[in-house]
Structure 1
Amino acid sequence: MCAAVIGGMDRLKRNYILTARELGIDLKVFTGKENSIAPKLGKPDLVVVFTNQVSHKARREVATYAKANDIRLHLSHSCGVSSLRNCLEQA
């Protein structure tokens, strides 16, 4: 399974990747500072957006891209490692 995280904290990027790897998931992390995220996403099975760490424009862009490409989308206000683990386990 492949997933992508939009938002989150720069200092937790490595922890996000390690947590996903423990669950057998390949993870791409975009911390929200990128200009255009959707073209870089590719075709993951799941996209997790940490809404408290990204702009409204980025959230809308990713949501539109996910809907157009039949990608599951999970919005989470909290950006902790345990929140990511819960999202990935539910997928």
Structure 2
Amino acid sequence: MSVVLIGGMDRLERQYVDEAERAGVSLRVFNTAKPGIAAKLKNVDAVVIFTNKVSHRARNEALSAAKANKIPVFMHHACGVCTLRECLKCMHIINHTGGMKDV
């Protein structure tokens, strides 16, 4: 599974990637708004946005790209490693049950 994380803290980037690897997920992290972020979201399975550590522009661009490509988006205000871990667990449950009805 390939996931993109938008936002978060620079100093935790390595921990985010390590946690995703433990969950069997390939994670790309964009801590800041970068030009052309929408093009980088086309081939991912999900997008996680940490809303307290991201600009409105980056958030809106990511949401638009995800909606256009029918990519699920998980938004959380907190930006800790535990938040990412819980989000990855939720994605795992959704993928293995076939939808949100059992979550």
TM-score interval, normalised by the smaller of the two chains? over 0.9
How far has the Cα of 1:31 moved from its partner? 0.4
1:6-25 deviation line (CA, Å, top 9, x unaligned): 00011100000000000000
In the other structure, the counterpart of 2:6 is: 6
How far has the Cα of 1:80 moved from its partner? 0.2
More helix by share: 2
User: 1:16 aligned to 2:13?
Assistant: no
Moved more, 15-24 or 52-61: 52-61
Q: Say which SS state the counterpart of residue 49 (structure 2) adopts.
A: strand
The 3 A distance-change label for structure 1 pair 61 and 34 is same
Given that 1:43 and 1:71 are in contact with CA atoms closer than 8 Å, whether structure 2 keeps it comes out as no
Gaps of 5+ in 2: 92-103
User: What is the aligned-residue identity percentage?
Assistant: 48
Given that 2:7 and 2:53 are in contact with CA atoms closer than 8 Å, whether structure 1 keeps it comes out as yes
- Which amino acid in the other structure matches residue 46 of structure 2? L
Gaps of 5+ in 1: none
Structure with more relative contact order (C-alpha pairs < 8 Å, separation 6 or more):
1
How far has the Cα of 1:34 moved from its partner? 2.1
Q: Structure 2-normalised TM-score?
A: 0.83
How far has the Cα of 1:43 moved from its partner? 1.4
How far has the Cα of 1:38 moved from its partner? 1.4
Structure 1 runs (4+) deviating above 3 angstroms are: none
In the other structure, the counterpart of 1:67 is: 67
CA radius of gyration, larger in: 2
